[in-house]
Structure formats: C-alpha cells, structure tokens
Structure 1
C-alpha cells in the first residue's frame, strides 16, 4: 500500500534516535548517518494515508493521520521522560472536560434532561415474548413497512402481513444455505396494491391546496429515503468518513419540498422541475392481489449456544436486566384485520380512533389556545358545512386533558364541575365551549390514580413503586402517601386559576414548592413535576384510548389525513440522535407494543423519558415497531438549532427557538410578507419547545375572535391593559408592533379564520 512507504521512511529516521536518560538529545551511530538525517526534511506532524477502494476506476482518497514519530520526537526533545506522566494526566483531564461539555449541551437541548446512566440493560422480556409481540403487531396490520425484522428476534418463518402488498419478485435462496432453519427477517405481504396518487387542485380552486384524499396513507419508507438526516456513528473513523463522503446529505429544506410537492401544498406556485414521480409518498388501496406463494428471504443463522448442562437456551444473545426475572408468557387479545379501502362516507375505524390528545396543567393560557386554533384551521372537521348534520368525512377529535392542580395531587369530588367553571370564565378557553365545536373539541379531567388503574399492565403493581415521578433516571422525591392522598378543597378563581384554600396553605412546607406548582410561569419556576407526569401520561392515553398525543407546545400546519392512514406506531427522531422524541406519539389501542412498554417501564422505575423509552426498545430489538420519523415533519427547526445545515437552512431559518416569538431584525420582514404559507411549508406541525411564559402576540395579548366572543376579549384586555380605561381601548396601527413576529402572524391568521374574515388553509370558510 502507498501508506507503507510513507511509514517506512519515517521509521528509518526514527531508528537513528536513541533515548538518553540524561540529556534527551538525539545521538547517531556515525557521522555519516547524522549528515544524511540532517539533509532530510523535518518530520511532519501528519502523514498521508491512502484508503483502499474496491473499484479500480475510483481515485484512492487520502487522509492525513497524526505521525507517531513526530509526536514521540516532540515529547523526548521538548518535554522529557520525567514529564510523561504529567502529559497523560493532562490528556485525561482534557477528555473528562470534553465529555462534560457534551453532556451539558445535551442536557440543555430541551425541557428534558440527559439520563444519568444508560448502560445497564432494561430488558425483562424473553425471546418467546418478543416474537409474540412482533407477530401480533404485524398480523394486526400495524407494520406497513418493508424494514427488516432484527435477526436477534429469531423468527424461523415469515409472518403474514396485511399492511403491505405481495412482493413483485421472489428472492432466490442461495444453494449454499445450510440445511437448517434460517432466521427470517422479512414479512409476507398479502395486502392490497398501493396506488400512489397525484393530488391536484381543481382549476376553479387553484388558489388553495386540495384536501388530502380520504382514507389515503403516507408511505413512511419513502419519507425516510428523502428526509432521514442521520448522524453517522461508529468506532471506525474510516467507515464514518466513507459513509459521509459517499452518501449525499439530506437537508430539511429538501425534505419540505418533497412534502409540499407530494401533498400539492405548492399548488399554483410550482415551477417546472421535471418528472417527480419519486416524490409521491401518499397512496390509496387498490385491488387485492392473489397470493399463491410465500416470499422468503434467507438471512444469516443465529444458533443460540447451549448451556453447560446441555439444555438449549432460548434467550441466548439477550441481556436481561439485573435483579429481575423474565416476564411470564404474554396474554394478548386476538388480532383483528384492519379496515381497508374505506370510502369517504364510511364511518371511522373503531379500532383506530382519530383522537388527538394533549395534556395541560395549570391555568389555561394562549398556548393551548393556539394549539386548538391551529387544529380548527387545518384539520378536516366539516366546519365548512352548515348545521350539525352528519359529516361526510371521518372527523378527528381533540381531547384536551386538564390536570386541575399540582401533579402530585388527586382531584377532589367536585373537580369536574370546578374545571368547567374555570374554563367558562377563562377568556382563552371559553370560545372552545361553543356548541359549534362540541363534536370536535372535548375537555377531559385528568386523574392519575384512575388512569393508572385503567392500564391492565400496571393496575395491580404501580402502587408498590417508590415514586411515580421518575424521568431519565432523575426521581422527584414525592412521598407515595402524598401522591394518593385526597387533595384539600380548591376554589375556582375568576381568571381560571385554581386558588388555594386556607387548609391548603397549612399543609404546605417551605421546601415543598416543586410539589405545589401548577404549570410553568417562568424559567425560574419551571413545573418539572408536571413535565415528568406528562411523559407518562402520553403513553397512558394512547394505550388506553388510541390516537396521537401531542405536546402542548405544538401547532398544526396541515391536514393529518394520510398520517391516520398509516396504522403503525410512531414518534419522531430526537434531533440527530438515534433516540425518540415523544412530543408526537402514536400507539394503537391496547397493543402488544404498549403492553411491552408498560411492563418494561414498571420494572425500570416507571421511567417514561423518551431517551429511556428508546433504550427499552433497543434492548428488546423492537425499535422498528415504533417508527422513528425524521424530525423535519414535526420539528423542522431543530437541526438548525443544533448547529447543522446552516449552509442550506429551511424557511424560516431560526438560530434559536426564541426566534419564533421574537424574530431577529435582519429577517423580520419575512413573517408578514410570507404569512402562514411561508412557515415551514410541507411540515405537519411545528414544535416551539416550551417558552410557556412568552406571549404569541405581545401587542395584542388577548383572544381576538370577534363580537361572538367579545365578553372574553374585554376581560382579557382588562388584564393586559390594567392602566387604561376601557374607553381608551383604541386599536390604532401606531400602537401595534411595526414588524410582526412569526408567532404573531400565525395567531392573527388563525383568529381571522374564526372571525370569518378569511378561509382556512384549504379555502374553506367557517360556517356558524
């Protein structure tokens, strides 16, 4: 190899040196060798290293590696032998400091904190149960993907899969395959044919994009091909370098274009780009094909090693969590085939209810207000039809779960009536109690005890847990008796908050402020306990009721019709890490995957931090069952926040998440000029990552929904403008902010739709 000649030359030079315990100066065996050495160029700090390639036509790329000869010479001549241990100590301290900086940065990324320890295995299910989970999910139609089943599962025959069509061609089995049962990594599709649609606007309606095709489905495998930005990892630097050099990067900006074109969100504005069939990612079910043979793919065989006693170990290759026994054999409900090819007039699939869940603690503010407005503005709710008749579409519902008091308290007997009393008097919440929204927006009371008792996998054992508030290995010290004690009486305040009675004050202690917080009012009074509770609540709600959970700092940006068509479970990628962010989470009702997650969490301290959940799935080789969608679909600004893709950022380009609320001056013309259509067009939602205390509209920090909701607006104005007499409430343009921020533009756009001044994003006017 070319590198050998380079290394040999420097090795010959290095052989002339002889360590001297007294002087550290180079010495030579003869004057001739000294002369020859001094005529050679000084050894460089780096050496060229030629990378071998398989193709003779490819130019051999070269890397430069650190020269061991040069560093050795520098140490001997400059530092000396006695300082060798000092150098090692300094190098160790530098490594520890670098590791601390990395951990500190990751801990500040989001509201979540980095788990303190991730190495020990969390696995409590043996191979037989893992195979049952895979089999149940696939046969239920919850695996509409062609991704492989991990070899560690050890399946010996393909599982029939009703969610994918039959293979077009059979994979040939090598004649050299050993005559033993192979480990199967593919499924046998027998579902309907997929017809990828070209969504078009009608000529008379070209100003707005069309609604998605009813009962259509997103192909997340195609989305992964176009949108998966993955940080390459590995111990071999050469492998990482080659994977980056030979694989073109996938930008969030390009992913959003694919999402816009495939969903025809750029209607009337599309420029000629050529044939774009490969950007079609939405399909409908075609006719079912006849399946006469079974597709089969042979994979490397995994033969578990027998135990010393001669018995066969069925769990060989799996690492069980220390100190626990394997879970007993799972008892799962019978599988039911998914409904296919539903027409627009067909009722919703009862096994896959279209429920959006959101969890909220504390007073109702402009944050859930914006989430609900964006839901009305984007989803197909039939609000463009007059009257309360039957909708021709399967309408989703938004269930907002409200925890009325602190996370560790149990609601009292009058909690339900108190909740609705507060909602009616809260100007941000009262509009959504209007009869027009009764069928699509529902407020639910959260009761931790009742919800945990409603989970079959937890109801008999969760009370024995040391604490319910554990996330990422960080456990909040809340006594178990306080978690289940009935909270003292609470009175509803006129502003929608929960006021504390005198008996409440008597029970508080000076060091108990975290336990008694109800929502985050500022960065210094963050309600971490409610955040931990919400980490668990999202899994409870999806497992018990089905549907999709969304964090309350989420704004809808388009119709989710085709996401409902995808029957598998999913969350999205945690930035560039190979972990999940469960700010968006879909689980099927009482699924095998949900049972696995709850039983595993129970044996791991009831920890539902998304990074820990990622480890549960990785340890069990079930992570393919929870599809990790690229974050461009739900969190388009995140990679830019992390310092990636600054060369080609998406539109808009945020350097920090605060830019959403306070747009920098140099780009402050964009929000008003581009409007809603210029905000991450193509993404399904936007996650603004907390900032509960920053208003969406600092100049008009009140609901502005027109005369129909005027009473609530006047009450909110009085709070926002306490020093002004109501007669002086003049909305002069001179009092408005000159350059509107992105958050303000979105709020005023949604409010204009409710006031009837403009249609929604699909050109439909709200009919009262």
Structure 2
C-alpha cells in the first residue's frame, strides 16, 4: 500500500524541497473528488509564506500585515464593483442561476400585467406581490373581502415604504362552509354550486417548501371538502381546515360598470432623481431592447356567482381540454370515464338539468397523424369515421354524452393564427416549432409544410371532396421519430407529440379559456370549487420550485397569456415547463400563475423521488409503475379499499406516461354493457384473435388473483356506465 506522505532520502533533501516550495508563489493542494475515492483534484493556490516573506522583506514586518489587508480589501472592492457594473439592466443579461434572462418587458408593463389580473378578479389571494414590481400604491382587489383597518394611532404607525406588496380587498364577503351531508347516506355531497376554494388555506396546509406532507394535505382536502362523509373521526374543532367558501351577494348589487382603461389607473413609477433608471434591478434578455408598450384589453369585472344571470360565467367558461395524437386507446378512454364518474354533468337527470349548476364540457383535441405531418383536407370527416370504428372511442359519441364530451380536430396553423400575439410572427419560427427546453428537433422542409397551404387548396377548389388533391404520404419507418403516432414502449417515445402538446395547452387555454390536463390524468373528485377560484394555476414539479403544466388553468385572452406568448416568441417559442418557469421567475410574475402543491394532482410524485417515505399517503407508490403493477406486499389494498381508498382528497391522479401499459391486462377491452356490445366484441376479438367468439366465457379463474390499482379504477368507472353502481356522489346514470 502506498503512502500519501512525501518521502525523502535524507534530511538535506527534505530541507531543500521545503525551501523550494516556500519560495514558489503557488503551492499545489489536493482536493478529494466526491464519489471518486482513488483520485484527487490538484489545485494551485497562492503561497501565503512566499507572499508574507516578500512583503516583510520590502516593507518590514510591522507594515506587511497592514499592506496585505489593504490588498485584500481592494481586491474585494474591485470584484464587487465589477459585479455591480454588470448587474445593471442594460449590460447584465445573466441571471443569478447562471441561465440567460428571458425578460423582455419593462417594469411599467409588468405593473400593468399585475394590475390587469388584479382588477379582473384573478388574484383572490393575500400572497404578497414582489417588491421588484415596484407598485407605489395598493390596488383595489375585487376578489378579496374588505379588511377592517387597524386602529393604530398615527404616531405609532411605521412610515410608508417606497413600494407596496399588498392589495386592498374590495370584494364580496366570504362565508366558509362545513361541508357534510345532513342525511345518513354513504356518499359525499356534491360541492355547492358557485363555491370557491381558498387556495391560500390550501397552500398553508400543503406547501412542500414549508415541510408539509402529502398525507396531511390529503386529510385537509377530504375533510374540508366533505369527502369523509360518514367516516369522520373526532379531531376537535376543524375551522382552520374549512377551505371552501361562498361569496355573499352584495347589498344592492348591480351589474358593474366596465372597468376603466389601464391608461387611467396606472402611471410610470416616479424616479427619485433624474438619473435613476425606472428599470433598475431588472435583468433584460441579452441583445434585445425593451418591448414596446404592451397592448391589453380592458379588465374584466369580478361578479360573484350569486349575482350571475345564468349558472355559467361567460367570461370564465368551464372547459376541460386534453390533447391526443394517434389512434384512440384505453388512456383517453379512462380519462373520459373518470370525467363522467366525478364531474357534475347532469347524467343523473333524464332531462337537461335546470338547477343552478354550470355543467363543464370536455374538449378532446385529436391530432390524427404524426405531429410533423401535413393533415389531410378531409381530416375532420376522417377523424369522426375513425372514432366511430374505434371501440375505445365510439361509446362517447352516444347522444347522451354529446353536450358534455366534444371531439375537436387539432390544426396547428389554425390554432396559432387564432392567437393575436402569434399570428403575424410565428411563421418566421416554423423551423423551431418543435422546441423543448432549448433543444430543437429538426424537421425536414417537406415534413414541416404548413397546414395553411393545404387549407388554401381546399378553399380554392370548386369540385367535390374527391377532386381535392391530397398530400401524398411518404413511405417510411412507422417507428421513426417523425412518423410516430403515440408511444408504444419506453424506447419508442413519441417526443414530437409531447413537445407539440407543451405549446398546445397554452394556446387552448389562452384562446378558449379553461383547464388543460395531460392525457395520463384521471379525475378523482368534482372540480367545482377550483372553477370558482378565478386565478391561473399549474402545480409544482415535485421537489423543485418549478412548474409542471400537466394541469394548467389560464383565463381567456388574459394579460398573463399575452405576456407568455410575447416572451415565448423572443425565446424560440419554447413552452417546456422548465422554460415557462424561467419566463415567470425572470419577470416576477410567478404569483399570477399559482404553483399549487402536487398533492392536489400528483400525490405519488414525491414518494417516487425518495421524499416523505417515512410518512407516505395512501396508496404508497415507490415508483409510478406501481399503479399498473401493484407490488404484492400492498396488492390487497385495491380490492379492499376501492376507488374511495385511492388518494382520497386529491382532485386528480397523474400516472406519468406508461402509454404502452394496459389498465386491465385480463380484460383489455371496453366493458360497458349491452348498449356498447358491438365495440366490446371487436376489441375482444382483437385482443384474443385465437379464441372463437362463441367460446367467450368470463371465468374468475382466468382473471388475475390480485387486481392492480389501474384495473380496479377502470372496472369501477365501467360499472357506473353499465348501471351497476352510482357515481362517487351516489348518483345513478339515467339513459
């Protein structure tokens, strides 16, 4: 074994070596490399002995320490002066994290964005506005109730600060609900129409950055939402867990006047001196000037639900959006079933509901071919023909569902042209449409032909559809990245479609309003009180202070959306969640897109990344695959607990891809009863082509003994459509 200590042949050699080292201006230092025990990093640092000897020889031993101190202070002063110079907004473009800044808007425009969202009732929160925005007076907030001003004598009040970080409530008062069924029934009550979730209280009980556990968060969500009906245990007074409220109707409330123009309610931030830069402290994107003044429409008027003339607020439509590429499979099938099982769509009433309920709609956007392909001019009719013949999709074309489930054809050109902030500029960036986190996938010119060229051919043709020239599909490998339609395995991931969906969610929410959900999402409860909260939100990327936009709520034509599209245009049209996180952080607008805890929509995520495993929620998934292949040690839970035992309290569950894993391997077909028997027969024949249909007999011995969580949820939703059980709120489907 070799020694790390130096060895010498004699004392003379040792003295000469030490003397030569002491005369050198630098000395080598060995630093251990983490994770590599056998090697060290060799660094050269200043030799303090040589510096001390030099200064003592030149200036004497008394003056040498003072001189060294002066040199050190001068070096630090020079370093900080250099850093301060390059932190100026006009010169410095590097952010504190080492990434280049994405900011293109001045402080005045950032103030106008905040003011627009607050005036429109999209900030029903007491979370402070960042000081960097520089507001000089507290805006009136129509979504917050007024607060009684503290009666503190003026001589004891602190002097007002240069900036304001709070708003002044000017809205209807709130009445918090203790949600429970008054009857002795086994099912929880539907949320009260018009109820609102106080997401400040949710954050107080669920925020991971404040060391809150997913398990505890889910208890607050199910108790406050009345989901523990009939099973509530004595816990003492739980007023602090009441997070659902109703807005009281104002006395003599009248339809509000149109909000005043922004030009009349916001002014540039006054400078304390003629030389002060109004954008000091903001870090602008390198190589760009500040954008010209931002054009925003007039702010909306915040109207309490009780004061609406109709159950639905036309300015805040209740639309769920989902994006799907390629053939319809069991994944969107289960998303739609869970929507019908949980949301208040009125299927328990034979006639159109007449009560004070705003029924949500589910818009499933279909991109029928590969993400980079040119669509067929007859794509709409082809889409419906494909849905009719697909056993997983055909049931949702039934007339009973026509008012709540709608299939839409995704057309990239049409959608981008429908965004005012993009329509005049996006074509210049068509070579970078497939941009994810700065990584651009190059699509050949013949593949990236725009949809508008095809549309012009159709519009200019006077003949029948048969006369319309159709693009010729190139032959190629179906598993090639440009030709994939869906992810058939973990090694053949449809990356282009994922990147396209990153952009599609922002386009759909900004153009139509509503909430976007990834197709690997399952609804677990009614979202009524989330619709009542008018602000925008996504959720946290597990342990990181970043966004995951698998759930995204944005308002139609909002100031926030306008900001995001203008910013994305100047940053390669990149809508990857990490990049969007940078857009909002660089501009101090994170408060306008609330980053909710992932416990609400993705309760297993922290556990799969080795966090909170000492107190996990129910069920306990150590990896996302446990949903499809539940480990034997916990495989008794799905059948014993059922739907009610699956992350009870969460609004949805995100199973993170696994497109290639069937929910129910033993019965990998839609099992919806006699009304949809034709589709079931076709799917069974495809799943088991070697068995004669006359021999189809479902024997319990052929089924898997321990059913996985994915299988239990699928069979639960299907039994509701078959009429064998009510939905989660005790309502039976009426045909």
How does the TM-score come out when normalised to structure 1?
0.78
Whether the 8 Å contact between 1:641 and 1:655 is mirrored in structure 2 is yes
Please state whether the residue corresponding to 1:169 is helix, strand or coil.
coil
Report the Cα distance in structure 1 between the residues aligned to 2:187 and 2:39, rounded to whole angstroms. 55
SS at match of 1:203: coil
User: 2:179 maps to what in 1?
Assistant: 199
Q: 1:224 aligns with which of 176, 190, 203?
A: 203
Distance in 1, matches of 2:39 and 2:134, equals 40
Q: Aligned match of 1:611 in 555, 578, 594? A: 578
Give the Å deviation of 1:576: 1.0
* 2:128 aligned residue: 148
After superposition, the Cα gap between the structure-2 partners of 1:304 and 1:118, relative to the gap in structure 1 and judged at 3 Å, is farther
**Contact 2:319–2:514 (Cα < 8 Å) also in 1:** yes
Find 2:103's aligned residue among 123, 137, 149. 123
Q: Is the CA contact 1:410–1:449 (under 8 Å) kept in the aligned structure 2?
A: no
The reply on whether 1:398 has 2:362 as its aligned counterpart is yes
Counterpart in the other structure of 2:708: 741
| Residues 1:453 and 2:417 are matched in the alignment | yes
Q: Is the 8 A contact 2:476 2:483 kept in 1?
A: no
Structure 1 position 169, deviation (Å): 3.0
Counterparts of 1:488-637 in structure 2, within 5 Å, are: 504=472, 507-508=474-475, 513-637=480-604
Kept in 2: contact 1:219–1:566 (CA 8 A): yes
Mark the CA change 1:199 to 1:402 in structure 2 (over 3 Å): closer, same or farther. same
Deviations 1:406-439 (A, max 9, x none): 1112322100000000000000000000000000
In 1: Cα distance, 2:381 partner to 2:40 partner: 54
C-alpha deviations, 1:679-710, integer Å up to 9, x for none?
00000000000000000000000000000000
After TM superposition, give the deviation of residue 642 of structure 1 in Å: 0.8
2:192 paired residue number? 213
Match of 1:498 in 2: none
Contact 2:377-2:470 at 8 Å conserved across structures: no
Q: Distance in 1 between matches of 2:10 and 2:470?
A: 80
Is 1:470 matched with 2:432? no
Do the aligned residues in 1 keep the contact of 2:119 with 2:142 (CA within 8 Å)? yes
Deviation at 1:572, TM superposition (A): 0.4
Deviation at 1:549, TM superposition (A): 0.2
CA deviation map 1:287-346 (0-9, x unaligned): 54899xxxxxxxxxx99797xxx5431111101001122111011111121220337993
Choose 179-188 or 165-174, whichever is displaced more: 165-174
Note closer, same or farther for the CA distance 1:258–1:389 as it changes in structure 2 (3 Å cut). closer
Matched, 1:683 2:650: yes
**CA–CA distance in 2 between the matches of 1:402 and 1:97?**
56
- Counting only pairs closer than 5 Å after superposition, residues 230-629 of structure 1 correspond to structure 2 as 230=209, 249-288=211-250, 311-342=275-306, 346-388=310-352, 390=354, 392-465=356-429, 466-479=431-444, 482-485=447-450, 504=472, 507-508=474-475, 513-629=480-596
State how far apart, in whole Å, the 1-side matches of 2:309 and 2:734 are: 21
Distance 1:217 1:378 in 2: 18
In 1: Cα distance, 2:334 partner to 2:242 partner: 31
Secondary structure at the counterpart of residue 716 of structure 1 = helix
Q: 1:336 to 1:718 in 2, by over 3 A?
A: same
Change (3 A) 1:171 1:609: farther
Distance 2:622 2:686 in 1: 33
1:389 offset after TM fit, Å? Answer: 5.6
Q: Distance in 1 between matches of 2:406 and 2:339?
A: 13
Distance in 2 between residues matched to 1:614 and 1:95, nearest whole Å: 40
Aligned residues: 634
Closer, same or farther: CA 485–597 of 1 in aligned 2, 3 Å: closer
CA offsets per residue over residues 114-159 of structure 1, 9 Å max, x none? xxx9610000011010000000000000000001111101111111
Note the C-alpha offset of 1:579: 0.4
Give the structure 1 partner of residue 17 of structure 2: none
Number of the residue aligned with 1:168: 148
**TM-aligned CA distance change 1:186 to 1:739, over 3 Å:** same
Distance 1:675 1:378 in 2: 15
Contact 2:568 2:575 in 1 (8 A): yes
Task: Name the residue aligned to 1:182.
Answer: 162
Structure 1 unaligned segments of length 5 or more: list them: 1-18, 26-80, 99-116, 231-246, 292-301, 490-500
Offset, 1:720? 0.6
Q: Cα gap change, 1:667/1:334 in structure 2, threshold over 3 Å: closer, same or farther?
A: same
**How many angstroms apart in 2 are the aligned matches of 1:24 and 1:451?**
83
C-alpha distance in 1 between matches for 2:503 and 2:277: 35
Distance 1:741 1:187, change over 3 A: same
Q: Distance in 2 between matches of 1:96 and 1:420?
A: 64
1:717 & 1:597 partners in 2: Cα distance?
46
2:621 is the alignment partner of 1:654:
yes
Cα distance in 2 for residues equivalent to 1:343 and 1:724: 61
Checking the alignment, whether the CA contact within 8 Å between 2:478 and 2:484 is kept in structure 1 is no
Matches of 2:426 and 2:363, distance apart in 1: 25
Q: Is the 1:542–1:587 contact (alpha carbons within 8 Å) kept by the matching residues of 2?
A: yes
CA distance in 2, matches of 1:488, 1:527: 24
The CA RMSD measured in Å over matched residues stands at 3.1
Q: CA deviation at 1:518?
A: 1.1
CA contact (8 A) 1:227 1:630 kept: yes
Contact preservation (8 Å) 1:305, 1:313: no
User: Could you tell me how far apart the structure 2 residues matched to 1:177 and 1:471 are?
Assistant: 51
Alpha carbons of 1:179 and 1:281: their partners in 2 closer, same or farther (altered >3 Å)? closer
Is the contact between residue 31 and residue 40 of structure 2 (CA under 8 Å) also seen in structure 1? no
Find the counterpart in structure 2 of residue 759 from structure 1: 726
1:672–1:344 CA distance, 2 compared to 1 (3 A): farther
| Residue-by-residue CA offset, 1:483-529 (whole Å, 9 max, x unaligned) | 2345999xxxxxxxxxxx99855x35679921111111111111000
Quickly say closer, same or farther: Cα 1:369–1:343, change in 2 above 3 A. Answer: farther
- What is the deviation of 1:763? 0.2
> In the TM superposition, what is the alpha-carbon distance from 1:179 to its structure 2 partner?
7.8
In 2, Cα distance between equivalents of 1:528 and 1:603: 23
Change (3 A) 1:289 1:695: same
Question: 1:389 and 1:217 mapped to 2: Cα distance?
Answer: 21
**TM-fit CA distance, 1:611:** 0.9
* CA distance 1:640–1:315, change in 2 (3 Å): same
Q: Secondary structure at the match of 1:342?
A: helix
CA distance in 2, matches of 1:564, 1:24: 84
Q: Retained in 1: the 8 A contact 2:141–2:169? A: yes
Cα pair 2:139 2:167 within 8 Å, conserved: yes
Distance in 1, Cα, partners of 2:556 & 2:144: 21
8 A Cα contact 1:467 1:479, kept in partner: no
Aligned counterpart, 1:157: 137
Aligned partner of residue 640 in structure 2, secondary structure? helix
- Contact kept in structure 1, 2:367 and 2:409, CA below 8 Å: yes
